[in-house]
Amino acid sequence: MNANVNFPNTPEKYLPLSALSELYDISTTSIKQLFHAARKRGIPLPERRKVRRLYLYDRERFNEWLWQNAENLKSEIPSHLRSDADDDAE
């Protein structure tokens, strides 16, 4: 599978967490839990920019971050969101 997923319907480079949540079909709370787990494990968080009171995440870097750290954060990903391929690897 290609780690560099392109979202053609989303031309913006920087998106709020809520928009990323919709793109990946992961709740905002779950993404925040992944960020918390990453901090605890010393994994740098994806690039973001603060615009007024809102943080915007680089969607391409977020995608790369998610793919690169999926194995380290696997225990934090809810089981219903894991693919069937993960079950075969265990």
What is the extent of the structural domain holding 43?
A: 14-77
Q: Does residue 6 belong to any structural domain of this protein?
A: no
Q: What is the per-residue pLDDT for 1? A: 40
Q: What is the per-residue pLDDT for 29? A: 93
Residue 59 CB-density burial (10 A; 0-12 exposed, 13-18 middle, 19+ buried): buried
Q: Map tokens 């480079």 to a residue.
A: 13
Q: Does residue 62 belong to any structural domain of this protein?
A: yes
Q: Map tokens 């319907």 to a residue.
A: 9
Q: Map tokens 């709020």 to a residue.
A: 16
Max Cα–Cα distance, the chain, nearest Å: 45
pLDDT average, residue stretch 71-88: 64
pLDDT average, residue stretch 52-65: 91
Q: For residue range 1-44, what is the model confidence (pLDDT) as tens digits?
A: 444 555 555 567 899 999 999 988 989 999 999 999 999 999 99
Q: What is the per-residue pLDDT for 79? A: 64
Q: What is the per-residue pLDDT for 32? A: 92
Q: Does residue 1 belong to any structural domain of this protein?
A: no
Indicate the number of domains in the chain: 1
Q: Are 55 and 48 in contact (CB under 8 A)?
A: yes
